[in-house]
Amino acid sequence: MEVLRYTTIVLSAYLLGSIPTGYLLAQFRGVDIRQVGSGNIGATNVFRILGKSAGTFVLLADALKGFVACYFLGQIVGALFGAGDNQKASSRESYSIVAGLAAILGHNYTCWLKFKGGKGIATSAGVLIALVPWALLIILAIWIAVFAASRYVSLASISAAFSLPFAVWLTGGTPTMVLIMAGMGALAIYKHKMNIQRLLNGTESKLGAKKTAHESTT
């Protein structure tokens, strides 16, 4: 029964995370977001191409996917499969972690767009709100500081991702949680590999700069 619970959580969270919010909103506006700007479906590219309101909507919707998966799916699946109160209490964190990771993978590798998606920053933020909100405040401050100094969304996101396990450790996270968050941070950094190359080459675009083919994304 436990295997069935975890399988259901993983599939449900993946499908929730895989909803391509940026792509769908852009299609509604008559734009294929994959063919303009950076080609990414994340909030930054939507912000650049469709404007502040659209970008903000995508950012919040993508974050909500991670939060809902992490905060609610474990409880829902436990109720559906009749898990007892003690079992639910002991498994709640495990269910939440699995659901959060599956939602991030769904966003990054959505099955609806040939497993090409976003970079998971907003969806990861939603997961962090549910799991480690105090650590999120620390890395959010780091993101803001780096972005204010550089105007590079990608550099701010990479810096926040690198800082994540340290922030979890500083806020009293368990060794297991620190390790899991290190994995989440590493995935976020890996998804920014092209941005890292452009940063090294000096061709990465700053937010607010004239649009080019080298725009950074989240």
Give me the pLDDT at residue 90, please.
Answer: 53
In a domain, 84, yes or no: yes
In a domain, 215, yes or no: no
In a domain, 128, yes or no: yes
The residue among 128, 123, 161, 127 whose CA lies nearest residue 142 is 161
Residue 89 burial by Cβ neighbours in a 10 Å radius (0-12, 13-18, 19+): exposed
Place of tokens 């609610």: 72
Q: What is the mean pLDDT of the chain?
A: 90
Give me the pLDDT at residue 26, please.
Answer: 97
Q: pTM (2 decimals)?
A: 0.90
In a domain, 209, yes or no: no
Helix 121-131, helix 52-80: angle, nearest 10:
50
In a domain, 207, yes or no: no
Please give the tally of structural domains in the chain: 1
Residue, of 215 and 198, whose pLDDT is higher: 198
In a domain, 216, yes or no: no
pLDDT in tens, 130-189: 999 999 999 999 999 999 999 999 999 999 999 999 999 999 999 999 999 999 999 999
In a domain, 138, yes or no: yes
Place of tokens 């404007």: 51
Angle at alpha carbon of residue 161, lines to 118 and 136, rounded to 5°: 100
Biggest alpha carbon–alpha carbon distance for the chain? 57
pLDDT in tens, 11-24: 999 999 999 999 99
For 152-178, letters b (16+ CB in 10 Å) and e give: bbbbbbbbbbbbbbbbbbeeebeeebb
Q: How far apart are CA 76 and CA 61, in angstroms?
A: 20
Range of the domain at 192: 2-201
Q: How far apart are CA 198 and CA 218, in angstroms?
A: 15
Other beta carbons less than 10 A from residue 147's beta carbon: 19
Q: Which residues are CB-neighbours of 63 under 8 A, at least 6 positions away?
A: 122, 123, 125, 126, 129
Confidence of residue 105 (pLDDT cuts 50, 70, 90): very high
In a domain, 218, yes or no: no
Q: How far apart are CA 215 and CA 218, in angstroms?
A: 10
Residue 136 burial by Cβ neighbours in a 10 Å radius (0-12, 13-18, 19+): buried
